[in-house]
Structure 1
């Protein structure tokens, strides 16, 4: 379970910003909102099931997803994929001389196996500068290890982190110690790697749909996940009654005619020789409006972009709910009707469907989600609404609506946001010089 994420000197984040899933000490007029959207980890800690992040275009919403994605991928892969001569693909904040020669900062705090862990590192393009791991119980916080390359210091807790002993020399300057220890079957390290692996970062813009399609097809090998996904798609009123997936042999004939023959030949040579055909079933009616059978449609050719996105994401969403994952989705609402976006968020806020307290963090422009009059009640608490905004120097600030003390429960959040009360909106020019002939 994600508690907190911090990042600094990375992409548009100059100073360290903090994103938190900790529930604030607030009470909503709608008590069901507090009961459904918040869950207790223990007596001291309550976390949020969902959070929405709003902001103008290019304000840093996507960069927050990229920051967590970088940390996740570097933790998982730095030991097994990094060669000693490889550069680390991290990009510092480029709009200030203050940050040019400083490392980027990443830290995640999360709840795992009934303990709270705080893990982080500072990294430049050529080396891991610092790295640390702490855990805390109800009484105090313990340091498991601390690594500082500049001071040539490496402290390992011999009692609580024995798995890290004698592995210092096996850690490359451009690899993370936590990843190295996990490679040598360290129990704590392996569990932390698994936590990051189970925290998914997804782009809803469509640029990675082919990858999500492959993931969904793989997950569909489980009859349970396939059944759940089809039921979700049916419940979202897409008129689809079933989905059939078949393996077909790749040939020149079933490649698009727009592709040149030479390119088709190259594709055939480089592929496995098979592709998956995805067909949706729709009810077919006679002149009396009676169902007489089903008509099959090719998903890629005949269905809408929104329907395809829901298919690609359905198994990922349900997998997160079933296995208590953290899901970060950039542009969740892209290509989706507001009611469908609303229902997906409701699933994660639900006690019935989210019994294991999976967490959904999503970046969005859909202000309808802030309007209770459209859906009959509020969807999100104030601490579930976050904003990104750039200052005059191009650096992103990150803040929560819960930080505003003067907001009443019945304030029109959608209208106030659009009017600029909370910031995080674009400042539009007057188009004075647009289409000028001078």
Structure 2
């Protein structure tokens, strides 16, 4: 479980920005939207609001990069290969400084705090600390080429600093060389789902894999029926790769083969009722998902596997464009999954969206809502709704659109552009 994530000097983020999953002392949704972990009451979800260009996606980009670099930096690369970081470029000082990332998280009963600083050329600092009660103990510290390793807390890591390139993370190298604690942390990050809500087809295979299991197939079908999409059941059938490719025109074969990757393809069928003149159900008809169904239905199906897997495996979901192509009530229902007292899961979710209907006190605590905007110097800032001190009975959505919480675009009447 994530406790907090901090980032500084990365893309549009200049000063330290903190995504804090620690709850505040407010009283709403205490038993549903919080998870009690160690000495912490942690939020199950966090929703980012802000106008286009405010930096919501950049905050999520920082999380996605942090995870990606941990999982991939030790993969064999050339020592001169650049790290994919970009400092805040609208300030003379920050252009020359490293980017900063740090996360605190629980794995079982141990809390870790891990972070690093990096430029395009090298990792300048890296640290890992752990605590089981209150006091934190350093597992390892790295400053440039100097390492300090606690060999009792990081067994079998001694000597691996010599195998760590300037442009790689020591934690990642240790995981690759079977240091158990590093492998455990690496596995935790590997189980995080990073999702873009406009590229949902990339995650369809997770749903299809779950459909192979009878229990999950029934669960997916219950989800589909509950969503009121007019669909009674989902089914699949396999089409051989050779049968597909031979029907595709020559000029399209290369791109089709790239998409199919030489594999057989599963067609997804959505079963709809057929009615007679008396509006009685007389049968059912299959519709092919990609051919007949709406974009919203496709997205809902494609991402069902992500939601189910995250809840069952206590995983974190990071999602941009959470509400895109989905009805407000369906979006609310999905978010409610991560605030249900009926589901015993330590899964969490952080999303960015625009749908103001989710700004609902019956759905979210005030400390689960953050507003993102840029200051006059072009730097992204994040402010929790709690800091505005609204009454919990206040209409959050209307106050937000009135500009009381910031994070909205100041748009003049566009028709005036044609009147001049």
Q: Same fold (TM over 0.5)?
A: yes
| Structure-2 residue corresponding to 1:375 | none
What is the CA-CA distance between 1:21 and the residue it aligns to? 0.6
| Structure-2 residue corresponding to 1:21 | 21
Change (3 A) 1:172 1:305: same
| Structure-2 residue corresponding to 1:239 | 230
| Structure-1 residue corresponding to 2:354 | 365
Task: Show CA shifts across 1:344-367 (max 9, x none).
Answer: 1111100112x0221111111111
Q: Tell me whether 277-286 or 309-318 shows the greater mean CA deviation.
A: 277-286
Q: Distance in 1 between matches of 2:331 and 2:194?
A: 17
| Structure-1 residue corresponding to 2:287 | 297
Q: Tell me whether 358-367 or 244-253 shows the greater mean CA deviation.
A: 244-253
200, 215, 222: which one aligns with 2:213: 222
Give TM-score scaled by structure 2 length. Answer: 0.95
| Structure-2 residue corresponding to 1:34 | 30
Q: Distance in 1 between matches of 2:254 and 2:328?
A: 43
| Structure-1 residue corresponding to 2:256 | 267
Taking only aligned residues, the RMSD between alpha carbons, in angstroms, comes to: 2.0
Q: Distance in 2 between matches of 1:9 and 1:268?
A: 41
Change (3 A) 1:341 1:22: same
Q: Tell me whether 139-148 or 269-278 shows the greater mean CA deviation.
A: 269-278
Q: Report if the CA contact (8 A) 1:250-1:268 is conserved.
A: no
**SS of the residue 1:318 aligns to:** helix
142, 158, 163: which one aligns with 1:170: 163
**SS of the residue 1:121 aligns to:** strand
| Structure-1 residue corresponding to 2:62 | 67
201, 213, 224: which one aligns with 2:194: 201
Q: Report if the CA contact (8 A) 1:21-1:51 is conserved.
A: yes
| Structure-2 residue corresponding to 1:404 | 388
Q: Distance in 2 between matches of 1:277 and 1:254?
A: 15
Equivalent residue runs for 1:7-406 within 5 Å: 7-28=7-28, 33-42=29-38, 44-149=39-144, 152-204=145-197, 206=198, 208-250=199-241, 261-264=250-253, 267-268=256-257, 271-353=261-343, 355-371=344-360, 378-405=362-389
Q: Tell me whether 159-168 or 185-194 shows the greater mean CA deviation.
A: 159-168
Q: Distance in 1 between matches of 2:200 and 2:309?
A: 17
What is the CA-CA distance between 1:126 and the residue it aligns to? 1.4
Q: Report if the CA contact (8 A) 1:225-1:319 is conserved.
A: no
**SS of the residue 2:391 aligns to:** coil
Q: Distance in 1 between matches of 2:254 and 2:83?
A: 36
Change (3 A) 1:255 1:87: farther
Q: Distance in 1 between matches of 2:180 and 2:33?
A: 32
Alignment pair present for 1:419 and 2:405: no
